[in-house]
Amino acid sequence: MKKRYLPALLLTLLSTEISAQRLLVSITIEELNAGKMEAASRRGTSESFRRMMEQAVVYTNAAYAAMPADHTSAIAVAATGAAPELNGVTGSRWFDRERLRPIECTADGTPQALTCATLGDELKVETDGKALVFGLARRRDAAIMHAGHAANAAIWQDEKSGKWRTSDYYAKDGLKWLQAFSALNGVAADNDALVKLALQCIDSNMMGGDEVCDLLALHLENDDYGRLDHTLATLIKGVESRVGAGRVVFSIAGTTGAEGGIDSDTYRRYRIPTGTFYINRTGELLNMFLGATYGRNQYVEGYFRNQIFLHRKLLEQRRINRQELYERCREFLTDCDGVSRVKTSADVLPPRSGDIVVELMPGWSLVNENTGDKVNYRTAAASTPIVIMGAGIKPQRITSPVTIDRLAPTLAGCIHIRAPNAATSQSLF
């Protein structure tokens, strides 16, 4: 007779475990370095880093499987668990073929650049829309990458006024609590202002106030580890005092990008192999080469970062075999100094990429003299930590290499939902 009650008992225990987390706070921090974070944790004044080292799962050697172009594409990887080929975000800007110039990926205030679900999106689906999801950052692109498609709002600082705002995509009438907060708190532009906003967001929306887990995602900038330590302590203590220390999970990961490499002039000073690759000059030479092969014309439409965009309509009009042209371009560019590999549209490229993508040797700098853009390239992935702390998390320090795309599936497991729909990597635990 007693066995009849066993399934019911297991169901009750399972329900208790699933509802344990009321809030997930997912944080990304620009250029967070594991070594510097550990050094800060050993200082007697440490308020948050020391606690993380003692109470969290800390992966000290995390990196991106493919080097992101910038912090926007890095946040997209962390939020979706997917590479740019699947999440659609190759950087904060990309080349618009219609206007023949770079455009901001979130200029319209929407997440349409993301071609898959974020962790917050899956949480909304899993809870039938009941979960509260907010993405906060000083920059619009970072806030929207964190928020995703289904969030209650992405919130950022307006570039002109400095006031906190969202877009009609998320809230057609704005957010009254946000308007009141902006009116009372001025236009401070730092991490502390963002944390103050985050705590107000929790209060105004009663996040973590019921048995449905909510998500608060934010992006912090990093200029000083002492100040960052204090800011994180304020955030953690503030969240725990509102939600309960045993009902919240914190996640912290660093972002990094190709722009973080060392300038070629610095390498040259120490006699380390380096060089400068001028994408605009190379594109002009490529256009002359194609003109000599297929007849004089403007085959190259534009350049962006390490990408070359071809005049596709012209190729169609002239009935030029694209596969043959791509191979000719590849052969021509591979012979250029500093080039390690050339990809074309015949290969698998992320959405919105150019027809030709030039990858440089480590230590080289890419310069576009037409726009003034400069990117320093490195092959070795910059290491950054992953920290997960809170309800049900057993402290560990793990030095084995891991990749950031495993973070979203891991956090999904922590709050008992499915991983984002484009995530292919396994959970960290």
User: Is 420 within the bounds of a domain?
Assistant: no
* Residues 264, 265, 268, 273, Cα dihedral to 10°: 10
Residues 137 and 165 placed together within one structural domain of the fold:
yes
Per-residue pLDDT band at 225 (split at 50, 70, 90): very high
**For residue 12, pLDDT beyond 60:** no
Residues 228 and 288 placed together within one structural domain of the fold:
no
Any idea what the CATH number is for the domain that residue 223 is in? 3.40.720.10
**For residue 2, pLDDT beyond 70:** no
278: containing domain: 264-376
Residues 255 and 272 placed together within one structural domain of the fold:
no
Summarize pLDDT for 245-260 with one digit per residue, the tens: 999 999 999 998 765 5
* Averaged pLDDT, 154-168: 95
Residues 243 and 335 placed together within one structural domain of the fold:
no
Q: What is the C-alpha separation between 115 and 172, in angstroms, rounded?
A: 23
**For residue 288, pLDDT beyond 80:** yes
Res 281: pLDDT = 97
Summarize pLDDT for 41-51 with one digit per residue, the tens: 999 899 999 99
User: Is 86 within the bounds of a domain?
Assistant: yes
* Averaged pLDDT, 144-154: 98
Res 3: pLDDT = 41
Residues 83 and 181 placed together within one structural domain of the fold:
yes
User: Is 10 within the bounds of a domain?
Assistant: no
Residues 273 and 223 placed together within one structural domain of the fold:
no
Any idea what the CATH number is for the domain that residue 329 is in? 3.30.1360.150
Number of structural domains (the chain) is 2
**For residue 297, pLDDT beyond 60:** yes
User: Is 181 within the bounds of a domain?
Assistant: yes
Residues 91 and 160 placed together within one structural domain of the fold:
yes
Residues 151 and 220 placed together within one structural domain of the fold:
yes
Per-residue pLDDT band at 380 (split at 50, 70, 90): low
User: Is 13 within the bounds of a domain?
Assistant: no
Q: What is the mean pLDDT of the chain?
A: 92
User: Is 351 within the bounds of a domain?
Assistant: yes
Residues 69 and 127 placed together within one structural domain of the fold:
yes
| Long-range own/partner contacts, residues 89-93 (CB < 8 A, 24 or more apart) | 89/113, 89/114, 89/145, 90/350, 90/351, 90/352, 90/353, 91/305, 92/141, 93/304
Cβ–Cβ < 8 Å for 223, 324: no
Residues 325 and 225 placed together within one structural domain of the fold:
no
Most confident range, picked from 261-275, 375-389, 411-425: 411-425
This model's pTM is above 0.85: yes
User: Is 423 within the bounds of a domain?
Assistant: no
Summarize pLDDT for 88-143 with one digit per residue, the tens: 999 999 999 988 899 999 999 999 999 999 999 999 999 999 999 999 999 999 99
